[in-house]
Structure 1
Amino acid sequence: MKRGLRASSPSRALIALAAALVLLLAGCSPTGDSSERLKPTSQPVYPQVRTYPNIRVTENVDYGGKAGSPSVLDVCLPKATADNKTLPAVLSIHGGSWRQGDKDNINWRSVCQWLASEGFVTFSVDYRLAPQHPFPAGFDDVRTAVRWMRSSATVNRYNIDPDRIGVFGGSAGGNLAALLGTWGSGGWTTGSRVAAVAELSGPTNLTATGREADDFVPLELQYLACSDLTDCPQARTASPLYHVDKTDPPFFIGHSLSERIPLQQSASFVRRLRGAGVDVTFVTVKGTLHSIAMLNPAMRSRIADFLRTKLAGP
């Protein structure tokens, strides 16, 4: 009997291997929170910081936010195409724990120019910051920016396609980008809806009180204007996790395995999106790199390809 069991083990292994190969060849979509893994490479903390002399930047364009707020953005323009076709557009949202940072930061200026170098008219936005301006002020600003991008005046001025607007963000900017993607329902071509979302290290469940409590919850409480997450209805409203539905656009989500925002934030969000039938690309990176510090050449290439594919148009 034992000899029979030993003899059948290789057969079972071969059957399992063959089944896995069939699934792979069939191109089955990922499920749950399965991710693709990228290996970090030896690099400076912010590998994306570089100059793009061929990318023109128009600074401090007013996008029509609330009076007295920093309602300006920079526009990073790709080189003109020979056929003068309309181009896809991307809104870039800086990080900074919702309380600091701006579009003029050298790292985020480089992100704006990088995205433009990939063929996207990129709008790098400033928004109101906590604690002076708690949620939903900053989110209202980025929604206003998308509506401004879609206006006929902006479309004509920058030669963009209003039906092909995506968003990119990291950390707190990743939270706002993900919230843009999940806010509302239906088509992606009206109001402040977007057609694709790429985000890195975004906190997506602000009601969580696990490992986040060490140093991040105090920042969340400032942003939400709450004294305790157990009595803070804004926490749920500000969490992309609780707004997911089947009409949400495609997502690219990147997260390091051991960074300051727990991986579970993105893993739970990915499961919720995929459970609703939303197209999700989930990439994890070994190590502690946070937000745009993950933007090595491989990650930049993956994000650019994702946006190019999802914003390809007819």
Structure 2
Amino acid sequence: MSAARVIPIALVALLGLAACGPTGSDAGVIDPQIDAVGTDLATDPDVTVVADIEYRVVDGVPLLLDACLPPDLDRDSAAVPGILIIHGGSWREGTKDSVGWRAVCTWLAAAGYPAFSLDYRLAPEWVFPAGFTDVQAAVTWLRADEQAERFGVDPERIGVFGGSAGGNLAALLGTSGSGDLSTGPRVAAVVDLSAPIDLTGVDLTDDFAPLQLEYLGCTTFADCPAAEPASPSSHVDESDPPFFVAHSTVEKIPLAQSEHFVEALRAAGIDVEFLVADGTLHSIALLDDDLKSRIVAFFERTLGPG
């Protein structure tokens, strides 16, 4: 998708906002101002990080997450929304505490939200739905009274942030299940950056296809029973939470993945904020001060202030 195409889409989106809001795949345009790798991914030193908290045990192996707590968190005052963070890495690599994802965790905590960055089981040793059941378990763990009291989190206001493969898992949390967003593994707001959404073999680059098949535990898309269940687009319904979606025009996950997903969400009546950047930046590499401000504003609007 070229810049020439993005700009008219943004103009249509602005006109739509003036009338009844954006429709279809209408998108706003962003222009990330990233001067150097890591410029906007510095860890906030004022945030307290409690590392390696066990949230689940599978076959005797503990699964861990890190809690990033706001500097002025007062557990005796009213509970605030919590945000679960799911790292990327093509479902086969990445960690909760890598430099970029630790920076995301501390940034959201500095904005007032207790944030929880987790590790989950990875391919090829573990294929779908292993990693997804882990992130579902993390939501249920965070919603429990013990954690709500420990971290001052309101169990009825849990959001999720994910990028790339983590964005797929975040979006799947948002669209799986139906009904009440304040119980079980359901979440009340979703931010996904550069996420693969339809895993059935469409809108896919040749170099990413083997990684996707590896995660699904399949050799071909023609015979892959896991592809549809692992696709957030397959589960959209009118009870899904608000979404914030951002994507670049020329990156490893084709923009069409997000465009078609946004169309499906809006067709179901879901509140979606959709932003497109001209260029190749992928996932959290998109995060500059402007995008971070927009994401915090989205969480404030959908979950309440931190």
Same fold (TM over 0.5): yes
Q: 1:94 aligns with which of 84, 87, 93?
A: 87
Q: For the Cα contact (< 8 Å) 1:182–1:244, is it kept in 2?
A: yes
- TM-fit CA distance, 1:276: 0.3
Provide the rounded CA distance (Å) in 1 between the counterparts of 2:85 and 2:51: 14
Does 2:79 match 1:115? no
DSSP-derived class of the 1:64 partner: strand
Deviations 1:123-157 (A, max 9, x none): 00000000000000000000000000000110111
Q: 1:41 aligns with which of 33, 49, 52?
A: 33
| Matching of residues 44-63 of structure 1 within 5 Å | 44-63=36-55
Q: TM-score, normalised by structure 1?
A: 0.89
Partner in structure 1 of residue 251 of structure 2? 259
Deviations 1:263-288 (A, max 9, x none): 00000000000000000000001100
**Root-mean-square deviation over aligned CA pairs:** 1.7
Q: For the Cα contact (< 8 Å) 2:32–2:291, is it kept in 1?
A: no
Partner in structure 2 of residue 174 of structure 1? 167
DSSP-derived class of the 1:288 partner: coil
Partner in structure 1 of residue 288 of structure 2? 296
Q: Is the deviation greater in 83-92 or in 38-47?
A: 38-47
Q: Is the deviation greater in 245-254 or in 35-44?
A: 35-44
- TM-fit CA distance, 1:49: 1.8
Partner in structure 1 of residue 180 of structure 2? 187
Q: 2:239 aligns with which of 236, 243, 247?
A: 247
* Higher share in helix: 1
- TM-fit CA distance, 1:27: 4.5
Q: For the Cα contact (< 8 Å) 1:255–1:283, is it kept in 2?
A: yes
Q: TM-score, normalised by structure 2?
A: 0.92
Deviations 1:54-73 (A, max 9, x none): 10000000112423445110
| Matching of residues 1-314 of structure 1 within 5 Å | 26-81=18-73, 84-210=77-203, 212-312=204-304
Provide the rounded CA distance (Å) in 1 between the counterparts of 2:16 and 2:212: 41
How many equivalent pairs are there?
A: 292
Q: For the Cα contact (< 8 Å) 1:139–1:176, is it kept in 2?
A: yes
Higher CA-based Rg: 1
Q: Which stretches in structure 1 are left out of the alignment for 5+ residues? A: 1-19
Q: For the Cα contact (< 8 Å) 2:16–2:23, is it kept in 1?
A: no
Q: Is the deviation greater in 77-86 or in 244-253?
A: 77-86
Q: For the Cα contact (< 8 Å) 1:69–1:128, is it kept in 2?
A: no
Q: For the Cα contact (< 8 Å) 2:162–2:168, is it kept in 1?
A: yes
Provide the rounded CA distance (Å) in 2 between the counterparts of 1:213 and 1:297: 30
- TM-fit CA distance, 1:23: 5.7
Provide the rounded CA distance (Å) in 1 between the counterparts of 2:39 and 2:247: 16
Provide the rounded CA distance (Å) in 1 between the counterparts of 2:104 and 2:258: 22
In structure 2, the CA distance between the partners of 1:49 and 1:194, relative to structure 1 (3 Å rule), is same
Q: Which stretches in structure 2 are left out of the alignment for 5+ residues? A: 1-11
Query: Percent identity at matched positions?
Result: 52
DSSP-derived class of the 1:92 partner: strand
- TM-fit CA distance, 1:46: 3.3
Q: What amino acid maps onto 1:170 in structure 2?
A: G
Q: For the Cα contact (< 8 Å) 1:75–1:122, is it kept in 2?
A: yes
Provide the rounded CA distance (Å) in 2 between the counterparts of 1:282 and 1:127: 27
DSSP-derived class of the 1:111 partner: helix
Provide the rounded CA distance (Å) in 1 between the counterparts of 2:61 and 2:230: 20
Provide the rounded CA distance (Å) in 1 between the counterparts of 2:112 and 2:165: 25
Provide the rounded CA distance (Å) in 2 between the counterparts of 1:76 and 1:27: 40
Partner in structure 2 of residue 5 of structure 1? none
